[in-house]
Chains A and B, each alone.
Chain A
């Protein structure tokens, strides 16, 4: 017995054009309903949510519509005595929120809003003897955190404050028979983790560890007949996985291995014509997360009405250039 291929079909009336102004309106209004149940329930993701929204707006060249002062005050309030940053006031510091916060401050060219030296010391303190990183003081280890740590430190210009060789060694130890990467040594390959590990190796200048042909084959096989990409074999396509896979292919110089037009069609069909925004797949509810990754994906696929996006940091290329980061992609 096998598993039938899981895919979706794109309805004939699905959007075929990019609805930029609707997306800008959607993101612009997202934070205005602060008493909404959904909004309150997702407080544990607030810092990430602000990064998704602001980056989406910046890619559409609409960042000026957002309330910069309010955002900077919020980020400052979320820095803890330890140096780490939490997702919202009253929550605990975590690497996932800390990276988002640094990305937000970098977008606004306002890193000096918080005590960056303390952030650096805190990130440093999370590195373990085997090179891995805890996400916070409670000890969960994951290659996502290795990415967060080096992305964060490189944006702050302090990559050398950790043991980079050991950090790389740990990420490489998570490589699998299919050329991909998982959460920890022994874990199954997953597009999200692959993006983190490939990105981590790009930032540290160690992409030669990757078997680009082998990994490229696994990644391009994520494309389904609908044009969308899934995160692992035998899974449904999803706009956010389109980003993780696409960005990884770009970093290892294998973007031409997928059918770009089919993927563009799938991403465009995942827009909501009424509300603006992108959903995970056609016909579902939209959210800021998929809206950012939909836009970023279209940017990598060459849409010139969106700013060029950096495949490693998922931030506008002009921002990455401004902070002086130069990456050697394959």
Chain B
């Protein structure tokens, strides 16, 4: 239960509320039992759609009922002619839209929409992208809708450049739009790839982005979105594997190495240690004396100094 304010009520109000809930509970339980019975009898018909629809419109997280509807539609696919079938699927999309308006954050509802779109005979993907535009206008941070959008984009081959322009428009209307900045970080390496740069994006494009993000935090320096993006652009998020420091103790006959990134030194992924022109072999362990990923590695080796 999220965001439900506790309200103080009188005893009379409480009793009225209790009676109302008791009535609702009875209707709800009867409908649920009827649905389960129909499912057990494999009654894949319009009545089943009607009852499950009534329950799901008040309780969209009742996942088993979405599953029942999927079974019904798979059955329809076998028995109905294409035209009628497509009409039934169209109605399902309409029903889903009405559910999403009431609860735009139900995993089950969005997944059912994916099912419908990939199962129906003649899906209209352009309309789905428009639906996403509409829902992202209601709530520009709804990650379910952003994910559904990525599903639509992938399935119907929407060009990455179009999506990039969409995020630009979103950011122009509100800089503080973490979802859009995030999406740009995924689109840029697709549109302007450069494997030499740590972010995977061409330098000139990064500079343009730098300009955009600077405008954002000049306008609203307290907004976090632009600062996270800024750090990513600067490439500070990711370091290349390198030796950070080396310490050799003649007294303890050991060598300590720290690296810029975690790594695993093993037989398959070993280190060439050369001392005074001689290859030296030794076992490497991390700070916990284990052969597990770490930035810190130590090797004790008695034959280090034989030649000196």
Contact = CB atoms under 8 A, between A and B. Distances in A.
Interface of A: 1-3, 5, 35-38, 40-41, 43-45, 86, 90-92, 94, 136, 138-140, 142, 176-179, 182-184, 186-190, 205-208, 211, 214, 218, 221, 232-236, 238, 272, 279-281, 283-285, 287, 289-290, 328
Interface in B9-58: 21-22, 24-25, 28-29, 32, 36, 58
B5 to A, nearest CB: 6
A161 B106 CA distance: 32
B294 A208 contact: yes
Interface stretch (B78-86, B176-184, B243-251): B176-184
Interface of B: 1-6, 21-22, 24-25, 28-29, 32, 36, 58-59, 61-64, 67, 70, 107, 111, 115, 141, 143, 146-147, 150, 173-176, 178-179, 182-183, 185-186, 199, 219-220, 222-225, 228-229, 231-232, 237-238, 262, 264, 292-294
Q: Is the interface of A mostly helix, strand, loop or mixed?
A: loop
Given A139-B115, A186-B147, 20 more contacts: A1-B174, A2-B223, A35-B22, A36-B25, A44-B62, A45-B61, A86-B64, A136-B67, A138-B70, A176-B182, A177-B182, A177-B199, A178-B232, A206-B293, A211-B237, A214-B237, A234-B141, A283-B5, A285-B4, A285-B5
Contacts of B225: 233-234
A284 B176 contact: no
Max count, chain A CB within 10 A of own CB: residue among B4, B64, B174, B185? B64
B107 A2 contact: no
Which A-B residue pairs are the 5 nearest by beta carbons? A2-B220, A208-B293, A177-B185, A208-B262, A3-B176
Contact of A44 (B22, B61, B222): B61
A190 B147 CA distance: 13
A221 B224 contact: yes
30 contacts: A1-B174, A1-B176, A1-B220, A2-B175, A2-B223, A36-B21, A36-B25, A37-B28, A38-B21, A43-B32, A44-B59, A44-B63, A45-B61, A91-B64, A92-B64, A138-B67, A176-B182, A178-B237, A186-B150, A188-B143, A190-B143, A214-B237, A232-B141, A232-B178, A233-B228, A234-B176, A280-B1, A280-B2, A283-B5, A284-B1
Contacts, number: 148
A280 B3 contact: yes
Contacts of A290: 1
Q: Is the interface of B mostly helix, strand, loop or mixed?
A: helix
Contacts of A2: 174-176, 219-220, 222-223
Contacts of B141: 232, 234-235
B178 A44 contact: no
